[in-house]
């Protein structure tokens, strides 16, 4: 949807860049450095000047070539048209380890270079290796596992493989919030920012992996912990260096890697400095928008660093680098120079603040005219206690003296959470009698589960969970669902929710998870580069999920109905849909496990209409008539055509309507008999604790 709208705007403005050999070749510019590095490492002397000259010419080339504000249209560009663009990335990733090893060999073992030549070549490697993070960053965002592993290997060459976890699963979902140490607050210099950012990267990545395994009831040292891969890669590189040159070589390598990481952190600092996502009334942060990253359009730097300066679009779309869109002043704040120039300026805090802070103030006035006071967002207390924003904002507005206290010691805010200070949980004795308290608690629970936590809010919560492919989406949706089902069960056990209110909420949970998982499957399928078919496919649920009467252990009855072609495209897509839904149903508190072959096959819309006209039984007719479309792939109109088929199915026959009503009554009676005794059992079992084989949250 996003790609389509972007493509439409490009077409309307007539500013599209067509994918072509001529437009792809400039992105091979980074490869020109490799022969220069080889010559410098092999011959030394004046050959060392070649790579330095290349980088020194970057700024003049930017001024000479100017800006590139045109975009490639993501909606009309096929995957096959991006082969050359991808090839430049893959070739860089394949050549870098070989060139790096060759240069290190010449420095540590070859014996032909003097000490000053070794130092200069180390500086060259640091400059070239900045692209390691650009290419590695691009690859760890790809959906193909081999590309992600290649990205990890490249990052390990500079001792930073854990960036693959931290960047994708921490930085992206938390960017421009105090929960992200990579987003520097206003007034914080690069030198203050650097140590916390480096430390939090590795600690945050490890904590994420540990939490991920704990939620799946696995120990931290389980073989699926990504840190095992990272350790093997680090041992490979350090073992190689030690074998060649011993402890002194290790020290040189460590300094070299530290210098590369240092240069990468300058870019991280620049990309999001001072930019903040505002906190919404519901307590969540606003969706990431182009305004939450600094942009630049210098042509040569974008060729040299694979469109790194289009970072704003990367955070809102996660497109491959040639499809990244440049956002102008109307949507994204613009830097006064290229990323390379700004990285250098960041080393001098006074000059940096004098240059960027006025631009930041202008950005805030443009995009958030309703906010006059940003002191709460910029405060250290907010960075330390993001969930206490309301209290922080109140104190900053009313009592500057107290604001200084909480900025010096954010732990003071924790006292506002003690029982005697808050009525959020409605403690015992809140009202004069127990009956009134029970009514108040029940009212809060009902308001949240039946009104505030709507289907769209559930989808938004699921969308906030970072995943890279359908497999991760299934695991994330299952864990999120189990947590919500448990909460609903406890509310029902306590009498805060009625059974009918609980089943409505449970049905929403199921629908949100199904739609989220199928959306991820659709993205994986599209990433294979298969030409899209015309028309679309509607995915509908039957039974309790469709009628809003789901209870724990509900059967997942799904229909896949397509219109358009070719049919083999939708058959392949729906095979993936069924596989993902079967995986979602395993160890799921809400859904009963779906056996292999337990879901219906793919039907054309005409076949589905025929099935509605001639059902196998009255019960089948009643079930089909209550089907509800929960996901659409391709043409959105397929959902409307599916709904129309349901409305037209009985054909207006009074006898058929009566028969359907009788079938519904019979089915409802049976459901009531079955579920009335089952509801208390299911909920009581959940209240005692989820079964051992079910993943906790």
**Tell me: the pLDDT tens digits for 36-76?**
999 999 998 899 999 999 988 888 998 999 998 999 999 88
Q: Which residue has the higher pLDDT, 208 or 654?
A: 208
pTM of the model: 0.85
- Would you say residue 691 has pLDDT above 80? no
CB 559 within 8 A of CB 632: no
Q: Reduced to 3 states, what is the DSSP secondary structure of residue 320?
A: coil
Give the pLDDT band of residue 275 (cuts 50, 70, 90): very high
Q: Give the relative orientation of helices 83-105 and 145-156 as an angle to the nearest 10 degrees.
A: 30
| pLDDT tens readout for residues 132-164 | 999 999 999 998 999 999 999 999 999 999 999
Which secondary structure element, helix H or strand E, spans residue 557, and what is its range? strand 557-565
pLDDT of residue 697: 39
pLDDT at 490 (0 to 100): 76
The average confidence (pLDDT) of the chain is 85
Two structure tokens written together for 113? 């270079």
Give the residue range(s) of CATH 3.30.460.10 domains in the chain. Answer: 453-688
CATH topology for 453-688 is Beta Polymerase; domain 2 (3.30.460)
Query: In the predicted model, what is the mean pLDDT of residues 243-249?
Result: 87
What does 584-648 look like in DSSP terms, one character per residue?
Answer: HHTT-SSBPPPPTT-S--EEEHHHHHHHHHS-SSHHHHHHHHT-EEEEEEE-THHHHHHHHHHHH
Q: What is the pLDDT of residue 672?
A: 41
Q: How far is CA 524 from the centre of its chain?
A: 14
User: Which residue, 161, 107, 102, 113, is CA-closest to 137?
Assistant: 161
Are 207 and 165 contacting, i.e. CB atoms less than 8 angstroms apart? Answer: no
Q: Which residue has the tokens 């200069």?
A: 120
- Rounded-to-integer distance, Cα 594 and Cα 572, Å: 19
- Who has greater pLDDT, 673 or 186? 186
pLDDT at 15 over 70: no
Yes or no: say if 383 and 185 are a contact pair by the CB < 8 Å rule.
yes
Give the pLDDT confidence of 331-354 residue by residue, as tens digits.
999 999 999 999 999 999 999 999
| Lowest-pLDDT choice from 40-44, 546-550, 650-654 | 650-654
DSSP codes of every residue in 448-513? IIIIIS-HHHHHHHHHTS--SSHHHHHHHHHHHHHHHHHHHHHHHHTTSS-HHHHHHHHHHHHHHH
What distance in Å separates the CA atoms of residue 173 and residue 158, rounded to the nearest whole number?
A: 25
Cα of 657 vs its chain's centroid, Å? 47
Who has greater pLDDT, 491 or 257? Answer: 257
| Chain segment 419-438, per-residue pLDDT in tens | 455 433 455 555 566 666 66
């Amino acid at each position: 949807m996003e790609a389509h709208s972007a493509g439409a705007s490009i077409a309307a403005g007539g500013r599209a860049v067509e994918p072509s050999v001529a437009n792809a070749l400039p992105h091979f510019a980074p490869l020109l450095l490799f022969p220069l590095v080889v010559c410098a490492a092999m011959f030394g002397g004046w050959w060392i000047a070649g790579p330095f000259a290349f980088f020194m010419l970057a700024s003049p080339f930017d001024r000479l070539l100017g800006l590139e504000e045109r975009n490639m249209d993501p909606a009309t560009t096929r995957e096959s048209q991006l082969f050359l663009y991808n090839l430049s990335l893959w070739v860089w990733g394949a050549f870098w380890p070989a060139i790096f090893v060759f240069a290190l060999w010449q420095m540590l073992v070859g014996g032909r270079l003097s000490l000053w030549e070794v130092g200069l070549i180390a500086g060259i490697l640091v400059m070239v290796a900045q692209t390691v993070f650009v290419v590695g960053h691009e690859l760890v965002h790809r959906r193909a596992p081999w590309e992600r592993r290649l990205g990890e290997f490249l990052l390990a060459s500079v001792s930073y493989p854990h960036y693959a976890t931290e960047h994708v699963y921490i930085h992206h979902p938390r960017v421009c919030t105090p929960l992200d140490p990579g987003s520097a607050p206003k007034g914080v210099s690069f030198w203050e920012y650097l140590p916390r950012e480096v430390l939090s990267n590795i600690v945050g990545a490890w904590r994420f992996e540990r939490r991920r395994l704990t939620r799946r009831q696995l120990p931290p040292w389980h073989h699926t912990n990504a840190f095992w891969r990272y350790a093997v890669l680090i041992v490979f590189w350090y073992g190689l260096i030690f074998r060649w040159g011993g402890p002194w070589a290790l020290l040189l390598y460590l300094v070299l890697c530290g210098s590369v990481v240092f240069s990468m952190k300058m870019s991280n600092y620049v990309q999001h400095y001072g930019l903040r996502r505002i906190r919404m009334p519901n307590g969540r942060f606003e969706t990431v928008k182009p305004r939450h990253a600094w942009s630049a359009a210098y042509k040569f730097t974008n060729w040299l660093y694979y469109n790194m300066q289009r970072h704003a679009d990367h955070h809102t779309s996660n497109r491959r680098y040639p499809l990244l869109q440049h956002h102008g002043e109307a949507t994204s704040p613009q830097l006064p120079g290229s990323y390379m120039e700004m990285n250098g300026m960041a080393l001098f805090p006074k000059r940096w603040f004098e240059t960027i802070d006025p631009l930041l103030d202008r950005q805030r006035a443009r995009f958030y005219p309703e906010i006059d006071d940003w002191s709460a967002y910029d405060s250290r207390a907010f960075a330390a206690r993001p969930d206490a924003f309301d209290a922080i904002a109140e104190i900053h507005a009313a009592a500057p003296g107290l604001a200084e206290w909480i900025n010096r010691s954010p732990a003071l805010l924790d006292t506002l959470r003690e029982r005697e200070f808050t009525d959020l949980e409605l403690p015992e004795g809140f009202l004069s009698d127990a009956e009134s308290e029970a009514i108040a608690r029940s009212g809060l629970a009902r308001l949240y589960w039946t009104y505030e936590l709507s289907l769209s809010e559930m989808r938004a919560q699921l969308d906030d969970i970072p995943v890279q492919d359908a497999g991760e989406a299934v695991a994330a949706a299952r864990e999120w669902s189990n947590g919500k089902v448990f909460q609903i069960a406890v509310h029902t056990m306590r009498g805060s929710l009625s059974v009918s209110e609980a089943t409505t909420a449970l049905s929403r949970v199921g629908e949100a998870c199904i739609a989220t998982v199928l959306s991820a499957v659709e993205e994986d399928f599209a990433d294979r580069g298969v030409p899209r078919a015309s028309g679309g496919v509607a995915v509908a649920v039957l039974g309790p999920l469709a009628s809003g009467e789901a209870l724990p252990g509900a059967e997942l009855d799904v229909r896949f109905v397509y219109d358009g072609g070719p049919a083999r495209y939708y058959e392949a897509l729906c095979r993936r849909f069924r596989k993902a839904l079967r995986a979602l149903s395993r160890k799921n508190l809400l859904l009963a496990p779906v056996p292999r072959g337990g879901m219906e096959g793919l039907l054309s819309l005409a076949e589905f209409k025929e099935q509605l006209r001639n059902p196998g039984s009255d019960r089948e007719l009643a079930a089909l008539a209550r089907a509800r479309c929960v996901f659409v792939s391709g043409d959105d109109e397929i959902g409307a055509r599916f709904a129309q088929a349901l409305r037209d199915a009985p054909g207006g026959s009074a006898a058929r309507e009566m028969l359907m009503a009788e079938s519904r009554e019979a089915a409802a009676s049976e459901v009531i008999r079955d579920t009335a005794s089952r509801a208390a059992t299911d909920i009581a079992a959940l209240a005692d604790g989820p079964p051992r084989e079910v993943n906790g949250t």
